[in-house]
Structure 1
Amino acid sequence: MENYTLELDPRSGKLLSLYLLTDIKNTIELRKKILSGELKCCILKASMIVDPFQVVVGVNKAVLRQLNNKLITRSLFTEILYCISSSTNISQSLAKFGINDNDKNIIVAIVHSKDENNEFEDNIRPQIDGQLTPISQLKNYSDIELIKKTYKIDKEELKVSSLADSIVSRIGADYQISLK
């Protein structure tokens, strides 16, 4: 499976598609295009993601905030990075989860309606100089120690919960607030 697509909260009428790309050679160019709004997607560091569901929960939160006109950041794409982070510091969230000039492995997240599902192939993929990799390979690119440190997850917690479940519980902690 090259990508991962699923329906978000039904009230949004949106889908999320995730793509893992590795060995990226034009990260600096991609970062400039993201910052200028030229690329209509969110690009995340693959090293900070342990499971696609981690992204799904953050994206769903961001989409619901957008739907309710409650964005904390300026755009849906920065809101996604903010929602995936456990920090309330916007700059810190963007720096930790958004790409920097040295990142070689990325996840492209596209929020779309059912009739807009060609955005990746038509507009985004041609601009990325890297290998499309099955999303099932994500764990090979995750920096588990950095993820545990970022989300403040210790050995004791992992005795009773998986890393992915611990992360999702932190991301979803104020999920009910997003629904209001």
Structure 2
Amino acid sequence: MHVSQTLELYPELNVTQILFKDVQNAAELRQNAVDGKIKGALIKPTMLVSPFQVLVAANKAVHLHKRNQMKTRGLFSEIIFNLSPTNNISEAFKRFGISDGDGTVLVVLVHTKEESHLVSDMVTKVDGVQIPVEDISSLSDLEKIKKLYKINPEEDKCGTLLDAVVCRMATKDIM
């Protein structure tokens, strides 16, 4: 049900995504993440188009982490920040980080192959129903996503929403 992918530039690291619905303990999870008790990014799935979008953000975060060029204080906050089309860190957390009352959450872990136990540890911490990560698009709020990333109708005609979103994420540093 979860998806793990090895990073091409850093083959010693995997990015694992785990999707949950009917989450009952979002407030506790969020507080544990703030306190550093959860070694992962907790993301609001309604603001995501595809798991690929998260993989792009995680790959960029790992690269910046390895080069000591992160704009946030930690790898997992950098993943959330990299999902945003703007350079405003607090805005990124409001839009993409989970809130206390959220019923869905995407957990993103970055780990070595030897740390694969982190996946099962995380599953036990979430009081919710695990669903396939591929179902993330069924949770997407497309209107909010288009508004946030300023996607105009002409772009829909020449490419996919995912293309437009990833393009905004990739170019925010130079725009």
Question: TM-score range, shorter-chain basis?
Answer: over 0.9
Matched with 1:37 is 36
Task: Work out which of the residue numbers 126, 142, 145 in structure 2 matches 1:144.
Answer: 142
Task: Specify whether residues 145 and 174 from structure 1 end up closer, same or farther in structure 2 by C-alpha distance, changes over 3 A only.
Answer: closer
SS class of match (2:158): coil
Match of 2:168 among 153, 167, 170: 170
1:161 partnered with 2:154: no
The CA deviation at 1:127 is: 1.2
Aligned-partner SS, 2:19: strand
Counterpart AA for 1:110: L
After superposition, residues 125-144 of structure 1 pair within 5 angstroms as: 125-144=123-142
Quote the RMSD (CA, aligned, Å). Answer: 1.4
Post-superposition shift, 1:9? 3.5
Extract unaligned runs of 5+ from structure 2: none
Q: What corresponds to 1:80 in structure 2? A: 79
Contact 1:44 1:81 in 2 (8 A): yes
Structure 2 match to 1:99 = 98
Identity of aligned residues (%): 36
Supply the AA of the counterpart residue of 2:61. A
For 1:64-89, what per-residue CA distance to the aligned partner results, in whole angstroms no more than 9, with x for missing partners?
Answer: 00000011100001111111111110
Moved over 4 A (4+): none
Residue 108 (structure 1) aligns with = 107
CA-CA distance at 1:12 after TM superposition: 6.1
Question: TM-score, normalising length from structure 2?
Answer: 0.95
Task: Say whether the 8 Å CA contact 1:12–1:67 is kept in structure 2.
Answer: no
Consecutive unaligned residues in structure 1, runs of 5 or more: none
Inter-partner Cα distance in structure 1 for 2:172 and 2:102: 30
Quick check: 2:85–2:172 contact (8 Å CA) kept in 1?
no
Q: Matches of 1:113 and 1:174 in 2, distance apart?
A: 29
